[in-house]
């Protein structure tokens, strides 16, 4: 049973693209805030924009609860965040950005904006719309057949 080489499929291209974007993002982020990862930055921004529990964050960024626990822990150690027990539901954590965290977000905002602009620079509105739609088809296909 011989068929297309793995490296000739679109799914391989998707991997390539996301890795290229992650590399670009990490490089530019590191040049402004040396000690933060792309994932930490994303989660920091999400917490800043809206109060979320860890499991809500996990669902939002497609990560495992375990990963979120560890990523949060690293940011607690760096004092970007505080974590307290939710009074209304003691299983839940209340996450708040510290002043340090806020300053980092301010520094990151323009970098993140620029990263997106660089990545999507040569794309038309139409390209982006189509990309959304096609990716969504694939995602739905995969989700329907797993879990």
Partner DNA sequence: AGTATTTACTTGATATATCAAATAAATATT
Partner DNA sequence: AATATTTATTTGATATATCAAGTAAATACT
Enumerate binding residues for DNA (CB under 7 A): 19, 22-23, 26-27, 37, 39-40, 53-56, 62-74, 83, 88-93
> Rounded CA gap, 127 and 44, in Å?
29
Query: Which residue stretch of 66-74, 81-89, 92-100, 109-117 sits at the interface with a copy of itself (rule: CB under 8 A)?
Result: 109-117
DSSP strands (E only) in the chain: 81-85, 93-97
Q: What, of DNA, a copy of itself, none, does residue 7 touch, CB below 5 to 8 Å by kind?
A: a copy of itself
Contact, 30 vs 106, CB < 8 A?
no
Work out whether 31 is an interface residue with a copy of itself (CB under 8 A).
no
Q: Is 30 exposed, middle or buried (0-12, 13-18, 19+ CB in 10 A)?
A: middle
Query: DSSP character for 7?
Result: G
Is the Cβ of residue 69 or residue 130 nearer to DNA in the bound state? 69
Site string for a copy of itself, 40-79 (x = CB under 8 A): --x--xx--x----------xxx-----------------
- DSSP bridge pairs for 85: 93
- Shortest distance (Å) from residue 49 CB to DNA: 17
CB of 2 to a copy of itself, least distance (A): 8
- Interacting residue with a copy of itself among 32, 85, 100, 118 (CB under 8 A): 118
Query: Cα–Cα distance between 135 and 103 in angstroms, integer?
Result: 34
Stretch that binds a copy of itself, among 13-21, 68-76, 86-94, 95-103 (CB under 8 A): 13-21
- Rounded to an integer, what distance in angstroms lies between the CA atom of residue 28 and that of residue 35? 12
CA 72, 53, 112, 139 dihedral sign is: positive
């Amino acid at each position: 049973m011989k068929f297309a080489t793995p490296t000739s499929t679109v799914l391989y291209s998707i991997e390539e693209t996301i890795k290229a974007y992650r590399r670009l993002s990490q490089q530019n982020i590191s040049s402004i805030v040396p000690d933060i990862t792309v994932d930490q930055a994303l989660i920091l921004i999400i917490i800043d924009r809206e109060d979320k529990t860890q499991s809500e964050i996990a669902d939002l960024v497609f990560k495992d609860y375990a990963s979120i626990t560890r990523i949060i822990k690293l940011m607690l150690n760096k004092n970007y965040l505080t974590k307290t027990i939710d009074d209304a539901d003691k299983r839940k954590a209340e996450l708040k950005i510290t002043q340090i965290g806020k300053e980092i977000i301010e520094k990151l905002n323009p970098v993140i904006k620029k990263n997106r602009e660089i990545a999507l620079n040569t794309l038309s509105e139409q390209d982006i719309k189509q990309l959304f739609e096609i990716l969504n088809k694939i995602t739905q296909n995969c989700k329907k057949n797993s879990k």
